[in-house]
Amino acid sequence: MEKLAKATGGKIVTNLDSITSEDLGYAAIVEERKIGEDKMTFIEGCKHPRAVTILIRGGTQRIVDEAERSLHDALCVVRDVFEEPKIVAGGGSPELEVSRMLKKYAETLPGREQLAVRAFAEAFEAVPTTLTENAGLDPIDILSDLRSRHEKGETWAGIEVNAGKAQDMTKAGVYEPLAVKKQIIKSATEASTMILKIDDVIASGKMKSPPMPPGGGPGGMPGGGYPGMGEY
């Protein structure tokens, strides 16, 4: 009902006796149609529709579910761009560039901090590696080529899976919302930190308790008693 009110411009009224002309919406056609085995009401020709219905059909339920998932993902991408109108090239190019910069930053750090930053940088390469493997390409050759390109200053060099090679993703027209990239990095980091904390808890739980002092209890009293306490 809320979507119908947005589409027609009408208002939701709970009392039929209080309806006025200002509450009414507009639609050129309101009719019932049979789609497959189901009957559906179609409302078309609204003046300024702010809500629409997308009807997905397919030969099997699996095809319908896959089409719905793909459409939902596409709508979420559009929403993210509207909320934060910033984009980056795809194909694993942002991850490789971030990894390269983090490795350079790690060289300026002393001690174990350098190892932590380097491990964090290598984790970013999981995205282009997965893209390469899913495309049936050799990850060693592709990633070596990509690292070389990024070292030469080709910031947006990524994996073009259709061509099966590395190239500038801005020229290939492959883009992703910046909001998605930021959320991926944030969520993955939080999940990894949580796992590391669980490891610490388990490790501390396995530590042995300190041995009891001679005599079996505090103060060296037999039976674990205190001075002045008798035995029963």
The CATH number of residue 121's host domain is 1.10.560.10
pLDDT for position 232: 41
The rounded distance, in Å, linking the Cα atoms of 112 and 96 is 23
The rounded distance, in Å, linking the Cα atoms of 196 and 60 is 44
The total number of structural domains in the chain stands at 3
| Same domain? 78 vs 166 | no
Give residue 141's domain range. Answer: 89-203
Distances (CA, A) of 208 to 196, 202, 203, 211, 214: 21, 12, 11, 9, 18
pLDDT for position 231: 47
pLDDT for position 200: 67
pLDDT for position 69: 95
Please name every residue paired with 159 in a beta bridge, in sequence order, or none if there are none: 166
What are phi and psi for residue 38, nearest 5 degrees? -110, 150
The rounded distance, in Å, linking the Cα atoms of 107 and 232 is 68
In a domain, 146, yes or no: yes
| Same domain? 23 vs 47 | yes
| Same domain? 2 vs 41 | yes
| Same domain? 77 vs 9 | no
pLDDT for position 100: 92
Sign of CA dihedral 208, 210, 215, 216: negative
| Residuewise pLDDT in 10s, the chain (232 residues) | 888 888 888 899 888 888 888 888 889 999 999 887 889 889 998 888 878 888 888 889 999 999 999 999 999 989 999 999 999 998 999 999 999 999 999 999 988 889 999 999 999 999 999 999 988 888 888 888 899 999 998 999 999 888 888 889 998 898 999 998 999 899 999 998 888 888 767 766 666 666 666 655 555 455 444 444 444 4
| Same domain? 43 vs 137 | no
Q: Which H or E run includes 160?
A: strand 157-160
